[in-house]
Structure 1
Amino acid sequence: MIRFFTTIGGFLLGSLLLAFLTILTFNPSFFAKLALKDFAKGIASPSTNSLDKFLDDSVIDPLLENPETLTDLGLHDLDWLTNHNEKMNDYSVEKAEDDHKKFLEYYSKLNTFDESALSDRTKLNLEVAKFSAEIEKMGFENFRYHMGPFIQFYGTHVYFVNFLTDTHKLETEKDAEDYIKRTNAVPKAIDQLMVFEKRRADAGIYSPRFVYEKSFLQVQALVETTAEEHPLYVSFKDGIEKIEINDDEKIELLAELSDAIENFKTSYGKLKDLIEENMLNAREYDGVWSLPNGEDYYQHRLKIFTTTNLTADEIHNLGMELVDEIQSEIKSILANEGYDINRPLEDIFVELNEDPRFLFEDSDEGRQAILDEYTRINEETYEILPDYFNELPQAKVVVKRIPIFSEQSAAGGYYQGSSLDGSRPAAWYANLYDIGATQTFGMPALSFHEAVPGHHLQIALNQENKNQTLWNKFGYTTSAFTEGWALYAERLAIEAGLVTDPYDMIGSLQSELFRAVRLVVDTGIHSKRWTREEAIKYMMDNAGQVKSAAESEIERYIVWPAQATSYMVGRIKILELREKAKNALGNRFDIKDFHSVVLMNGVLPLTVLEKLIDDYIANNS
């Protein structure tokens, strides 16, 4: 009897081992899901053959082919299976075409699910998935070459360096070896993207001249910098000091990296030549209206970034109205502070921007003082969060400087979420290139937007939400929601009493005015055929932007059409829905519960968010 069961047991054990090896060999997504469940701090488990499983698989399968995202998410324990930490993504046009074929299969299957058999939550997911899929299908099939990879605003040539220096971790000798392999892999990625850029040229699609000029300077700097002074080398040298390896091994690793950087520089030299060649054919006009099917393309972009059917004219007119309203609020405060508001507002803005009371010393110490002040504001803001939110993220956020080599053309600030395993903290990056562009009165609003209760609160809560599936967490995003929330958070901070100084209030209103002006200039450039110079002047005259900041912003809107409209459109919708809920529920309205509905259901198109708020109202009436 014992021997019989031992034999059967051995057979069962062998079968299980064979099954395990089969999964290991042919189904790495099994391990990816396990790793994601572990790292994502809990994920709702979909039932077999459900819509949720289908949507989760639609996230997992591309993820396994995206080594950079695997690293960014902090899935380091998966590396033994995928070796992703030594690889860069496949940027070839062939890969993009193959991905689109797979997407069409996904798109076809998505439309076979019977809505009547779904729960309310899965119906919601299906609606969002269909919305996203329709947009993706239209974009690839009609506007594939309308945007280029080598733009001055965080183009891939800059991203590759930032990815290696900021995202690729250096904790072990293998990490260091993988860093070198990845540096050696960048030239192939650049070659692939150059093929795409040539396809754009074959289609007669070029960028404006300033895009080539600024990208050329960025690439040139990375080519002409010596290996030992290169950001890839400096970051690596600092990183391996913390690794327990002997000095001879460190010297050998640095020598290998130096060789890799030379290959990197050779590749970037070819890219520099291509950019210089394309500069000769730069398009005359800045707006996408000048591209093939440009008007349809811009409406498509507005759909992506606002998730609405608002037209360019409607958004432009909305922006003009808001500019007038917010400027009136600012003038009222200025009058109370003794300013002559009969003067042009732009002159007062210039005066405020140059007032030494609100500026930092143009030095390393002054820049550190800015980072310290942002940290103080962030810590103070954390104290009021329990009064407005039922849920708070465990992950914290730190303030960093935008890397020096890319800050000249970067935005004023941006947020990067933490890795899923927590090894890389969430951070928001402040632009300290032109120290005169950072006034003390503008700092609270920017901190509220990028950290808490803005981007960090929303993104970290979504990342840590145990009731969300993989697809809820990673399958869809839109800045109408994420940026709309962050701009709403600025207003919430005012309501919470965090802005008491009149000049800080002016700074907060300037931030709102800035987003209202964006509605005007983005649609002005891409629909109403404004020039770059006209848009820069409008922003300086109406938003109080110094010239360097206005130029950087307008150039960003030119290469990233419609994205700038998402902030104010999203914020208006969230405020509108909050007012709707307050009016319907009266004393039963709880702002914490309202925020839970908005934040704990993933990133949503605004139309879907409105349905959720309607359900919240109905369930609490």
Structure 2
Amino acid sequence: MIDRRRLLLSSVAAAGAAAAGSALALPRAVPQSEGGAKVTALLERMMAEFLAESPEFMTTLGLDTGPAAAVRSRLDDRSQAFLDRAHGVYRGYSAELATIDRTALSGMDAVNYDTTKFMLDSAAVSDRFDYGAQAVVGGAAPYVVSQLTGAYMGVPQFLDTQHQIRNADDAGTYLDRLQAFAGVLDVETDRVRSDFAKGVVPPDFILRRTGEQFTAALGVSPAESGMTESLVRRAREANVPGNWAARAEAIVRDAVYPAMQRQAEVIAAALPGATSDAGCWRLPDGEAYYRYGVLSYTTTDMDGDEIHRIGQEQVAELSARADEILKAQGLTQGSIGERIASVGQRPDQLYPNTDAGKAQLIADLNAQMAAMQTRLPEAFGVLPRATVEIRRVPVAIEAGAPGGSYQMPSLDGSRPGVYYINLRDTAEWPRFTLPTLTYHEASPGHHFQICIALETDGIPTLRKMPLFSGYTEGWGLYAEQLADEMGVYADDPWGQLGYLQSFMFRAARLVADSGLHHKRWSREQAVRYMVETLGDAETTMTTEIERYCVWPGQACSYKLGHTVWDRVRERAKTTMGDRFDIRGFHDTGLAAGAIPLQVLERVIDDWAAGRA
């Protein structure tokens, strides 16, 4: 999955756009019409204004240098007042877009218009709800703080992985941001109290999981906290002299930990009155909130019944394919999930749950990634220049973090893309499951797709970002299918079983997510369904289900997105016949930049028709 929350927390107000413009030379697409030029200008202004109001985004993209270096001392504004102002700005963007004649646009101008309209219409839907993270551009998150949302976990990771330490100024601005972190926590705590008063309280099991993470974080001495250790370690590596340990420790002890404790106490105080109802249906206007969640993540407007049906049908089809492989390997007894689980328990499939075993696992992932790199020209005409690294999810947040995720590189190339894998327990990663994960997160998956967009000329800068989960996660799953079609599992039936299990997992997510939020399943019912269908450990599936509870609709973006990528490819093959070129299909779909799925379909249909 993509680490999108940091990039897409909110929109921006117009103030300060000049500062962003001085840090970034925004590319200009060649307009085909006056209206097209206006759409491009609007998108570029939206990006510049977003950057001007998001110091963290500036740092993430590597643009916090030169005249914009002052932002390195600040964190993003997470206040309700800021979010309200951002929604007002987006209403202004919508009014501006409405003055442009869509019927006069074609080609990339039309793509830009349709993508912008979807973003603005989705923002208008988000504005109807006065609770949650209220991401203006991005996905639904009904709880400001949970095991997966909130500054308490996001800011320390941001400081460690994004804020570079190269000199004393960098170390000093790290301390400034660490000091600001306490204020950010208190702002979010105020929003949590406000939401709780409206009845927007996470389920009791989410509150407990979140409380456990607070306890774990606060249980580490300030001197040994990751916030202190990160600065000390990286200053030492960069040969930056100074007593950074004592200064960071004092801020963590006197400012950050007290603010974190205040937030933890608000979370704990809500637990006695919380229910175990898992879905967002129980929230104010909860049924509509789920439709918004599906729209924001998948860029489709499917209802819960349709999602549930599609998931059940695809689980049945994929299970039949997995059954054939299992029988061919002599595994005929028990359910498909039980037999897949038995493969994952074989000694030859398990890495030791030790530091050495985890190091070997990452080494094997690097080898898989390198082998795929040599094969990519078979399927792509354009390859990304940016590199990707494989890293372990930080131990401090691994308990509630997803299994795998991707973090995009900086625009200036100073920081590579990163594929994170959660190694809290190597038993969760049998060897046969790892190749398809690598193809999803790295190449030809997320790293490949996002870097092609970043490196392609003519795409408005905002559309270079991973804006739409349906497009991006759909591509990640399509990349897994492509690897199979390239023959990587020709002599590896267990690896192909891992690929099919991955697809079964994503199809089962459709059933579980719609079950929780539309059909009012309990957490236990959803966990039981996933365990029985997939054969995974109950602890693993519990973490997964709890993720769906706080990001309604997000889990649907993978398989629904993949279905569109696969469908539009087959339609192009039918249209083009012998003239179909797989490299042209991939290059066209990726060079369009971030787009909603319905826009992707139009882009590929137009490409196929033009070459038929």
Q: What is the TM-score normalised by the length of structure 2?
A: 0.93
Out of 187, 194, 203, the residue aligned to residue 189 of structure 2 is 194
User: Which residue of structure 2 lines up, in the alignment, with residue 167 of structure 1?
Assistant: 162
Contact 1:173 1:243 in 2 (8 A): no
* Alpha-carbon distance in 2 for matches of 1:389, 1:374: 22
**Aligned-pair distance for 1:143?**
5.2
User: Which residue of structure 2 lines up, in the alignment, with residue 60 of structure 1?
Assistant: 48
* Alpha-carbon distance in 2 for matches of 1:30, 1:101: 20
2:406 is paired with a residue of what secondary structure? strand
User: Which residue of structure 2 lines up, in the alignment, with residue 13 of structure 1?
Assistant: none
1:409 is paired with a residue of what secondary structure? coil
* Alpha-carbon distance in 1 for matches of 2:37, 2:367: 49
1:399 is paired with a residue of what secondary structure? strand
Contact 1:353 1:546 in 2 (8 A): no
Out of 238, 248, 251, the residue aligned to residue 257 of structure 1 is 248
Structure with greater proportional helix content: 1
* Alpha-carbon distance in 2 for matches of 1:431, 1:355: 21
- When structure 1 is superposed on structure 2, of 298-307 and 46-55 the one drifting more is 46-55
Contact 2:15 2:53 in 1 (8 A): no
Which runs of 5 or more residues in structure 1 are unaligned? 1-25
Residues 1:50 and 2:38 are matched in the alignment: yes
* Alpha-carbon distance in 1 for matches of 2:119, 2:579: 34
Out of 454, 460, 476, the residue aligned to residue 486 of structure 1 is 476
- When structure 1 is superposed on structure 2, of 89-98 and 482-491 the one drifting more is 89-98
User: Which residue of structure 1 lines up, in the alignment, with residue 171 of structure 2?
Assistant: 176
* Alpha-carbon distance in 2 for matches of 1:435, 1:123: 47
Matched to 2:200, the amino acid is I
User: Which residue of structure 2 lines up, in the alignment, with residue 437 of structure 1?
Assistant: 428
| CA distances 1:108-150 after superposition (whole Å, capped 9, x unpaired) | 1121112244453222211111111111111122353371221
Q: Taking structure 1 as reference, are residues 453 and 223 closer, same or farther at Cα in structure 2, changes over 3 Å only?
A: same
User: Which residue of structure 1 lines up, in the alignment, with residue 336 of structure 2?
Assistant: 345
Out of 247, 262, 270, the residue aligned to residue 270 of structure 1 is 262
Residues 1:448 and 2:443 are matched in the alignment: no
Residues 1:36 and 2:28 are matched in the alignment: no
Matched to 2:214, the amino acid is V
Residues 1:140 and 2:131 are matched in the alignment: no
Contact 1:128 1:608 in 2 (8 A): yes
Contact 1:143 1:297 in 2 (8 A): no
Q: Taking structure 1 as reference, are residues 361 and 293 closer, same or farther at Cα in structure 2, changes over 3 Å only?
A: same
Contact 1:37 1:43 in 2 (8 A): no
Residues 1:125 and 2:107 are matched in the alignment: no
Matched to 2:547, the amino acid is R
**Aligned-pair distance for 1:511?**
0.3
* Alpha-carbon distance in 2 for matches of 1:96, 1:28: 17
Residues 1:586 and 2:577 are matched in the alignment: yes
**Aligned-pair distance for 1:49?**
6.8
Contact 2:349 2:431 in 1 (8 A): yes
| CA distances 1:272-316 after superposition (whole Å, capped 9, x unpaired) | 111111222323310111112211111121122222222211110
User: Which residue of structure 1 lines up, in the alignment, with residue 222 of structure 2?
Assistant: 227
User: Which residue of structure 2 lines up, in the alignment, with residue 386 of structure 1?
Assistant: 377
Identity %: 32
* Alpha-carbon distance in 2 for matches of 1:412, 1:494: 21
Residues 1:496 and 2:491 are matched in the alignment: no
Matched to 1:91, the amino acid is R
Contact 1:516 1:568 in 2 (8 A): yes
Residues 1:412 and 2:408 are matched in the alignment: no
User: Which residue of structure 1 lines up, in the alignment, with residue 7 of structure 2?
Assistant: none
User: Which residue of structure 1 lines up, in the alignment, with residue 236 of structure 2?
Assistant: 241
| CA distances 1:544-579 after superposition (whole Å, capped 9, x unpaired) | 211221111111011111110111111111111111
User: Which residue of structure 2 lines up, in the alignment, with residue 458 of structure 1?
Assistant: 449
Q: Taking structure 1 as reference, are residues 618 and 364 closer, same or farther at Cα in structure 2, changes over 3 Å only?
A: same
User: Which residue of structure 2 lines up, in the alignment, with residue 287 of structure 1?
Assistant: 279
Matched to 1:222, the amino acid is A
User: Which residue of structure 2 lines up, in the alignment, with residue 19 of structure 1?
Assistant: none
- When structure 1 is superposed on structure 2, of 345-354 and 359-368 the one drifting more is 345-354
Residues 1:472 and 2:463 are matched in the alignment: yes
2:290 is paired with a residue of what secondary structure? helix
* Alpha-carbon distance in 2 for matches of 1:185, 1:101: 26
1:83 is paired with a residue of what secondary structure? helix
Q: Please, what is the CA RMSD of the aligned residues?
A: 1.8
Matched to 1:195, the amino acid is D
Contact 2:336 2:534 in 1 (8 A): no
* Alpha-carbon distance in 1 for matches of 2:149, 2:370: 29
* Alpha-carbon distance in 1 for matches of 2:240, 2:332: 66
Out of 80, 99, 115, the residue aligned to residue 112 of structure 1 is 99
* Alpha-carbon distance in 2 for matches of 1:227, 1:60: 37
Contact 1:52 1:471 in 2 (8 A): no
* Alpha-carbon distance in 2 for matches of 1:160, 1:219: 14
* Alpha-carbon distance in 1 for matches of 2:29, 2:361: 41
**Aligned-pair distance for 1:31?**
5.2
1:415 is paired with a residue of what secondary structure? strand
**Aligned-pair distance for 1:34?**
4.8
**Aligned-pair distance for 1:244?**
3.9
* Alpha-carbon distance in 1 for matches of 2:234, 2:29: 36
* Alpha-carbon distance in 2 for matches of 1:376, 1:106: 47
Contact 1:59 1:471 in 2 (8 A): yes
**Aligned-pair distance for 1:186?**
0.4
2:419 is paired with a residue of what secondary structure? strand
Contact 1:346 1:540 in 2 (8 A): yes
Residues 1:312 and 2:300 are matched in the alignment: no
User: Which residue of structure 2 lines up, in the alignment, with residue 421 of structure 1?
Assistant: 412
Contact 2:22 2:68 in 1 (8 A): no
Out of 289, 295, 298, the residue aligned to residue 290 of structure 2 is 298
* Alpha-carbon distance in 2 for matches of 1:245, 1:409: 34
Contact 2:531 2:537 in 1 (8 A): yes
User: Which residue of structure 1 lines up, in the alignment, with residue 147 of structure 2?
Assistant: 152
Out of 313, 318, 338, the residue aligned to residue 321 of structure 1 is 313
How many pairs are equivalent? 586
1:88 is paired with a residue of what secondary structure? coil
1:408 is paired with a residue of what secondary structure? coil
Contact 1:154 1:410 in 2 (8 A): no
User: Which residue of structure 2 lines up, in the alignment, with residue 3 of structure 1?
Assistant: none
User: Which residue of structure 1 lines up, in the alignment, with residue 11 of structure 2?
Assistant: none
| CA distances 1:49-93 after superposition (whole Å, capped 9, x unpaired) | 722112211121121111011001111324x34511011111111
User: Which residue of structure 2 lines up, in the alignment, with residue 376 of structure 1?
Assistant: 367
Larger Rg: 1
Residues 1:208 and 2:203 are matched in the alignment: yes
Residues 1:611 and 2:602 are matched in the alignment: yes
Contact 1:68 1:88 in 2 (8 A): yes
User: Which residue of structure 1 lines up, in the alignment, with residue 3 of structure 2?
Assistant: none
Contact 2:353 2:426 in 1 (8 A): yes
* Alpha-carbon distance in 1 for matches of 2:131, 2:588: 36
Contact 1:206 1:281 in 2 (8 A): no
Contact 1:485 1:574 in 2 (8 A): yes
Out of 575, 591, 596, the residue aligned to residue 587 of structure 2 is 596
* Alpha-carbon distance in 1 for matches of 2:37, 2:591: 25
**Aligned-pair distance for 1:243?**
3.2
* Alpha-carbon distance in 2 for matches of 1:527, 1:54: 37
Q: Taking structure 1 as reference, are residues 43 and 465 closer, same or farther at Cα in structure 2, changes over 3 Å only?
A: farther
Residues 1:217 and 2:207 are matched in the alignment: no
Matched to 2:610, the amino acid is N
1:241 is paired with a residue of what secondary structure? helix
- When structure 1 is superposed on structure 2, of 303-312 and 83-92 the one drifting more is 303-312
* Alpha-carbon distance in 2 for matches of 1:116, 1:326: 42
**Aligned-pair distance for 1:449?**
0.3
| CA distances 1:438-481 after superposition (whole Å, capped 9, x unpaired) | 1000000100000001000000111111121223224x711110
* Alpha-carbon distance in 2 for matches of 1:76, 1:600: 27
Out of 519, 526, 539, the residue aligned to residue 528 of structure 1 is 519
User: Which residue of structure 2 lines up, in the alignment, with residue 566 of structure 1?
Assistant: 557
**Aligned-pair distance for 1:507?**
0.6
| CA distances 1:488-508 after superposition (whole Å, capped 9, x unpaired) | 000000000112311111111
